[in-house]
Amino acid sequence: MKILLACSSGMSTSLLVNKMKDAAKKAGFEDEIWAVGQNEVGDAIQEADVLLIGPQMRMIKKKMEELGNEIGVPVDIIPPTTYGRVDGEAALKMAHDMKK
């Protein structure tokens, strides 16, 4: 599964990406997980199966949902607590649940 994360410059979400990759390895998933900044997300979403947005960038959700609806990519905001704890497992589970 291809999981895309987005925040302002892809900096803080990349922290979570590493934790998610660890969690995916542990669970035996073959996920491709990466983070981009908001100026690249419009292109990157074309390649993704789901899009998770950092809570601090939740103002882009509406726009991203419109994009996501066109190509069948679900979009959601990462819960602040998951984000604050850099909880890779919770974020990974969320991504997998969204695609179900």
60 touches other proteins by CB under 8 A: yes
Of 49 and 77, nearer to other proteins (C-beta) is 77
Does 85 participate in catalysis according to the annotation?
no
What are 12's strand-pairing partners?
Answer: none
Can you tell me which of 15, 65, 89, 93 binds other proteins, judged by CB under 8 A? 15
> Rounded to the nearest whole angstrom, what is the least distance from the CB of residue 100 to other proteins in the complex?
26
- 55: DSSP letter: G
What are 58's strand-pairing partners?
Answer: none
Number of Cβ within a 10 Å radius of residue 44? 18
> Near other proteins by CB under 8 A, which window of 27-35, 57-65, 66-74, 89-97?
57-65
Query: How crowded is the C-beta side of 71, counted as CA atoms within 13 Å?
Result: 15
How many angstroms separate the CA atoms of 44 and 24, rounded? Answer: 21
Binding residues (CB under 8 A) for other proteins: these are 7-8, 11-12, 15, 38-39, 54-60, 62-63, 80-81, 83-86
